[in-house]
C-alpha cells in the first residue's frame, strides 16, 4: 500500500473560490520514505483573501509569477502520485478533508479529470482524525499533534514543512497502529 502524504496552501478557505498556491507530497509505504515533490501553482485570479493568505504562507505576489500554470502543475501532480494511493493529510473532516476537497475541485475545474483523481487517491485519511482515536489530546491541530509525537514543525503554514510533520506523525501512528489504520482504509 502506498500513502501520499499531502499538504496544500491556498489563497483562502473557500473551496471553489480560493485557489491552491503550493502543494507538497511525500510518498511512503507507511514506514519508509519513497519520494517527495513540491508543486507551485500560479493563481488564476486575485481573491479578497489574497494579501492575508500570502502573509500567512510567506509567498509574495511576485513569487507566484514564476509558479507553474495551474493546468501544467496539476497534471504534474497527478503524474507523480501512483495509482490507488491513500491520501494522508492533517485536516478536520467537514464534509470532506480540506486538502482532498481542494485538490479534487481544482483537478476537476482545470483538467476535467475527476476519474483520474479517484484513480490516484482511492481513499483519504487524516492524522487529525487518527489523533482523536490514538491520543487523548484536546487540541488536535498540527502543532499540538506534532508536539505530542515529538515531531519538529519548523515553518508552519508552509506546504513542505507541514507535509514533513504530517509524514513523521503518520509514520509513528502507522508503526503503533498499523492494523487499525489499514482496517479503517478497507472499510471505505
Neighbours of 17 (CB within 10 A): 13
Tell me phi and psi for residue 81, to 5 degrees.
-80, 130
pLDDT tens digits, one per residue of 161-178 = 999 999 999 999 999 999
Q: How far apart are CA 107 and CA 115, in angstroms?
A: 10
81-93 burial, b at 16+ Cβ within 10 Å, e below that, comes to: beeebbbbbbbee
Which of 49, 61, 60, 44 lies closest to 11, judged by CA? 49
Stated pTM of the model: 0.90
Report helix, strand or coil for 30: coil
pLDDT tens digits, one per residue of 39-89 = 999 888 766 666 667 777 777 777 778 888 989 999 999 999 999 999 999
**Domain range annotation of the chain:** 3-187
Domain covering 3-187 assigned CATH 1.20.1250.20 in the classification: no
What pLDDT sits at residue 14? 74
What pLDDT sits at residue 48? 61
Q: How far apart are CA 96 and CA 123, in angstroms?
A: 11
Amino acid at each position: 500500500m502506498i500513502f501520499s502524504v499531502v499538504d496544500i496552501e491556498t489563497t483562502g478557505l473557500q473551496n471553489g473560490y480560493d485557489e491552491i498556491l503550493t502543494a507538497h507530497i511525500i510518498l511512503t509505504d507507511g514506514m519508509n520514505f519513497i519520494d517527495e515533490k513540491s508543486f507551485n501553482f500560479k493563481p488564476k485570479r486575485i481573491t479578497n483573501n489574497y494579501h492575508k493568505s500570502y502573509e500567512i504562507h510567506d509567498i509574495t505576489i511576485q513569487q507566484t509569477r514564476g509558479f507553474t500554470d495551474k493546468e501544467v502543475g496539476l497534471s504534474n501532480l497527478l503524474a507523480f502520485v501512483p495509482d490507488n494511493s491513500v491520501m494522508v493529510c492533517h485536516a478536520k473532516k467537514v464534509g470532506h478533508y480540506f486538502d482532498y476537497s481542494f485538490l479534487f475541485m481544482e483537478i476537476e475545474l482545470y483538467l476535467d479529470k475527476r476519474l483520474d483523481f479517484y484513480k490516484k487517491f482511492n481513499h483519504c485519511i487524516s492524522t487529525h482524525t487518527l489523533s482523536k482515536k490514538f491520543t487523548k489530546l484536546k487540541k488536535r491541530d498540527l502543532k499540538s499533534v506534532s508536539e505530542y509525537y515529538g515531531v519538529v514543525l519548523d515553518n508552519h503554514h508552509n506546504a513542505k514543512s507541514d507535509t514533513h510533520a504530517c509524514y513523521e506523525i503518520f509514520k509513528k501512528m502507522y508503526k503503533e497502529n498499523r492494523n487499525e489504520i489499514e482496517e479503517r482504509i478497507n472499510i471505505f
